[in-house]
A and B are shown apart, each in its own frame.
Chain A
């Protein structure tokens, strides 16, 4: 069942239609309006509402039980159970949202972009519903809707509400099957977790499939500077807003680059003819002003542009934004060139939703960094900054942000290879750690693959004696004889012989004086940072979860979904 809906582009004048089962919005109507033609089929809806009600009650009961029994966070099970009982649950609930749905997808910047978009829409006077951090698969979206639904199959307070959903790249085709979004934002496309997503081209294939299934009423927000993203707009019949950077001073090509700093590009060739793109200007990886020398395919002229970009301080970027309707200065309170793109994507989304300029400014300028994306935490007189880096381009940009002013810093790297990080850590060799080599005041390396990252740093020119390595677990062969005797059940004779040999005092370089595990690593990194200075924590995804959890345990950081709608 798909409700017939139309989401025409609307003007500032609000025309709000009252809908069945939906609370009428207050008279002070928000600047965005959606005209909905509720296609009522009372009889079928009633039986569906019954099924939905059952699914909602069961899902929430399962979630409560799971939390009670400490089986897990109890969030994904809510959606899983509800979907099992009523496969169309997402469609059923999402179609009740009065202002529809905005979807954000892409390799990097999803969380911050949807954060910006939510803040803007909030400031424009609408209720915003988001899916929780990490819950970006179908199940997670189902959960986020079910926990807000009533047993009668209706969403609570669906009037005056819009959902902003952060969606995993590979899940997009499935999501657009069940939700017809008003807007889809594509941030960028880089290599990421090759063992999970496959190559960049397979992600593109998913996206093309999703776009082909869209009605021409959905607005695409596309990054003009990313050739793979911009090419998604070719042949799309509906509205498109392109965004991009038009500031020459950020050109990589004009900056001095050593061959070892050569950045990997994930999109090099024109999708139309296969020729290699030529760049007039390149900002990072394959982001820039490009054109195909053979067929003339080139960067589209962006509708939302940033010029006169200036960095003033670590996390204060000021720029001039031009849109078809506005032109004004904007401050982005986050570090890094990539956050300019995130802000531009949010401005473009506001354009698509016909939101006026004031909420855009207030939403972005008063933005609090999202979980682990520039988040700031005070600990024992030191400032912690958490900067998630989960793929080569993301990591390169974090390093550039940290070291572009050639200022030495205290850094704590965490490299994990859990399923959510990707099992393959080869990509660290594509990251320009050479940039950081001379600028690490102190460096602590932790995580399940701490040894790999330490090796990378060694080969980047960081002296071994400066590296503090705190792996998550000791090698079994060099565990102390004492502890191995405790675990003797499985140890055989040769193990014991080796253990004894490995722990002899002479030349025992394998001994890790700072211990093992994330707690020790964090403590060491904090001790290495003098009071009053800043420690930059650069973790992969599960590393971020672990270090955040540790900080929550110590009462230093808010629980990570606190303040969220969930």
Chain B
């Protein structure tokens, strides 16, 4: 079964609070999504959603929310809860891919308890909560690598709060670094197609497989393609875990044929991306993982 799409594909990305939550190069994630869509002939429209703007779930195919300074985060938390909450919930329940980084991730959990002052209420998308244990507890700062879907994700983390997961499924297991709380080796959280993570760096440029995963989810959702699969699925390992993740997301696991995926997202020359990815793995002493990355990705 091959899809023939006659008109050009378009996706709309809602960028939440681009002026307030933009602390850690979050623009890099948007740039990456735009560039990778453009290379495949997909038009990615980016719409900024500031404080006071309503979020109409029908208008978007993908959402991104970044991290910001504490001072900027309080009015954002209020707006997220009061203005955008219902729309965001509806979008997430309708399987819209959402990426929330750092502060945005904390705001999508139940609450953030700062070292001083009242709790900041979150949306509760992820069954998780964040506690700042006071100025004497050190910030989690440094390069980080996690396992995800049978491969790795790399990034940089810098957070004072520790996040603890309730029933939420983590995005991955920490290989090196701190992760959610520096205690249980979990990093990030997943609910349906919403991903929360502490990893910036920016996250998507050095993790092109994750960027494509998000784009693919958006395309599948918008254009009604039922088969959930990973891009570059000739890699047996990747496929197996894609299977798993699909199950965990609650949607029907199925394997797509190479035709379908590559028809939507033809592979790009990501040599530089993977080399940068492997370089971070090597800095963390993960030589085997680095070698695996270069080996598997180069065969494509």
The residues of A with any CB-CB pair to B shorter than 8 Å are 191, 194-195, 199-201, 259-260, 264-265, 268-269, 274, 423-430, 451-452, 454-456, 458-460, 464, 469, 471, 475-478, 494-495, 498, 501-502, 507, 509-510
For the complex, give the distance between the alpha carbons of A260 and B295 in Å: 35
- Nearest A residue (CB) for B203: A426
The residues of B with any CB-CB pair to A shorter than 8 Å are 19-20, 22-28, 31-32, 35, 46, 69-72, 75, 141-143, 156, 158, 200-202, 205-206, 269, 271-273, 275-276, 278-279, 282, 287-288, 290-291, 294-295, 298
B24 touches which one: A269, A424, A458, A494 (CB < 8 A)? A424
Shortest distance from the beta carbon of A420 to any chain B beta carbon, whole Å: 15
For the complex, give the distance between the alpha carbons of A498 and B28 in Å: 31
A451 close to B294 (CB less than 8 A)? no
Most buried by A among B72, B156, B201, B279: B279
A475 close to B275 (CB less than 8 A)? yes
A194 close to B24 (CB less than 8 A)? yes
Interface pairs A-B: 7 shortest CB-CB: A429-B28, A426-B25, A429-B25, A451-B276, A498-B291, A477-B291, A199-B69
> With a CB–CB cut-off of 8 A, which chain B residues contact A502?
291, 294-295, 298
A477 touches which one: B75, B271, B294 (CB < 8 A)? B294
For the complex, give the distance between the alpha carbons of A460 and B200 in Å: 18
For the complex, give the distance between the alpha carbons of A478 and B293 in Å: 12
> With a CB–CB cut-off of 8 A, which chain B residues contact A471?
279
For the complex, give the distance between the alpha carbons of A37 and B225 in Å: 84
- Nearest B residue (CB) for A453: B276
| Additional A-B contact list (16), CB under 8 Å, known A201-B69, A477-B278, A495-B287 | A194-B23, A268-B20, A424-B24, A424-B141, A424-B156, A424-B158, A424-B200, A428-B25, A429-B25, A430-B28, A451-B276, A454-B272, A455-B272, A498-B294, A502-B295, A509-B271
- Nearest B residue (CB) for A424: B156
- Nearest B residue (CB) for A276: B19
A426 touching B276 in the complex, CB below 8 Å, given contacts A478-B294, A510-B294? no
B142 touches which one: A264, A423, A458, A478 (CB < 8 A)? A423
Shortest distance from the beta carbon of B160 to any chain A beta carbon, whole Å: 9
A452 touching B206 in the complex, CB below 8 Å, given contacts A430-B27, A476-B290, A498-B295? yes
B288 touches which one: A460, A494, A510 (CB < 8 A)? A494
For the complex, give the distance between the alpha carbons of A21 and B113 in Å: 58
Shortest distance from the beta carbon of A472 to any chain B beta carbon, whole Å: 10
A195 touching B141 in the complex, CB below 8 Å, given contacts A426-B202, A430-B27, A459-B31? yes
> With a CB–CB cut-off of 8 A, which chain B residues contact A428?
25, 28
A476 close to B287 (CB less than 8 A)? yes
- Nearest B residue (CB) for A508: B298
21 contacts between A and B (CB under 8 A): A195-B141, A195-B158, A199-B23, A264-B22, A269-B71, A424-B24, A424-B201, A426-B25, A428-B28, A429-B26, A430-B22, A430-B27, A451-B276, A451-B279, A455-B272, A475-B278, A475-B294, A476-B287, A498-B294, A498-B295, A509-B298
Shortest distance from the beta carbon of B119 to any chain A beta carbon, whole Å: 20
Shortest distance from the beta carbon of A204 to any chain B beta carbon, whole Å: 10
A191 touches which one: B23, B142, B143, B278 (CB < 8 A)? B23
- Nearest B residue (CB) for A433: B31
For the complex, give the distance between the alpha carbons of A525 and B71 in Å: 43
A475 close to B290 (CB less than 8 A)? yes
A201 close to B70 (CB less than 8 A)? yes
> With a CB–CB cut-off of 8 A, which chain B residues contact A427?
24-25
B282 close to A451 (CB less than 8 A)? no
B295 close to A501 (CB less than 8 A)? yes
- Nearest A residue (CB) for B276: A451
B70 close to A199 (CB less than 8 A)? yes
For the complex, give the distance between the alpha carbons of A454 and B276 in Å: 9
Shortest distance from the beta carbon of A510 to any chain B beta carbon, whole Å: 6
For the complex, give the distance between the alpha carbons of A319 and B238 in Å: 62
- Nearest A residue (CB) for B75: A274
For the complex, give the distance between the alpha carbons of A412 and B278 in Å: 24
- Nearest B residue (CB) for A264: B22
> With a CB–CB cut-off of 8 A, which chain A residues contact B294?
475, 477-478, 498, 502, 510
For the complex, give the distance between the alpha carbons of A437 and B276 in Å: 20
A458 close to B69 (CB less than 8 A)? no
B275 close to A426 (CB less than 8 A)? no
A265 close to B19 (CB less than 8 A)? yes
Shortest distance from the beta carbon of A115 to any chain B beta carbon, whole Å: 31
> With a CB–CB cut-off of 8 A, which chain B residues contact A264?
22, 27
A426 touching B75 in the complex, CB below 8 Å, given contacts A194-B23, A475-B290, A477-B290? no
